[in-house]
Amino acid sequence: EVQLVESGGILVQPGGSLRLSCAASGFTFRNYAMSWVRQAPGKGLEWVSVISDRGGRTYYPDSVKGRFTISRDNSKNTLYLQMSSLRAEDTAVYYCVKLIGTDGYKDYFDYWGQGTLVTVSS
Amino acid sequence: QSVLTQPPSASGTPGQRVTISCSGSRSNIGTNDVYWYQQIPGTAPKLLIYKNNQRPSGVPDRFSGSKSGTSASLAISGLRSEDEADYYCATWDDSLRGYVFGSGTKVTVL
């Protein structure tokens, strides 16, 4: 059974930094692209980043480009999201998501974690 | 503001058919496959339809998807109370070089 367990969400001040983690199990982690998708309170889904199976290819939307960095450690079956220069509008539940393919390009999301809440507020 | 446009709400009585639209453009729906996700309140999204009209194993055949030009739609036939949820369409956008989601549609079973 695929399991994705996020951690690291906390209350952080504007301008601060934070790293989220996602522990994956139930599948061969190193063979799949992975992504982060967020959902602000009461709002819709917003894609945040994607990384290829070996980590060599990443994509970001303009809303987080230059502030967020996605990475992975295939030896630990763990996905990360390093967030910096955080803003109030980054407040959201962050979901760790598995993709069906390897390179993250024109792919789709098949399994989602339960999410971790990041609150950016002073 | 979402790149893909969905109606904010849809409703029906048990047993009825409900259809949700998803409108995009040539750079997204016009050239890429569409996916649909169901999110029951308080839970994570779940894949409902992939590659426009394919159902993952375990998804009832009451759910069906279609795509034409720059629009897609999700149909729920034989509506049931457990279908009350938010539904999102998604695809890749060639211009933005990233994934885009619809604004979401809340389905209510009356």
In this predicted structure, the answer to whether residue B64 has a pLDDT above a threshold of 90 is yes
What is the distance between the alpha carbons of residues A72 and A74, in angstroms, rounded to a whole number? Answer: 6
| pLDDT for B1 | 77
CA distances from residue B2 to A44, A76, B35, B66, B103 in whole angstroms, order as listed: 9, 35, 15, 20, 5
Interface of A with B (CB under 8 A): 35, 37, 44-47, 50, 59-62, 95, 100, 105-115
pLDDT cut 70: percent of chain B above it: 100
In this predicted structure, the answer to whether residue B2 has a pLDDT above a threshold of 90 is no
Question: pLDDT tens-digit profile of B7-57?
Answer: 999 999 999 999 999 999 999 999 999 999 999 999 999 999 999 999 999
Chain B residues with CB-CB distance to A35 below 8 A: 99
Question: pLDDT tens-digit profile of A3-43?
Answer: 999 999 999 999 999 999 999 999 999 999 999 999 999 99
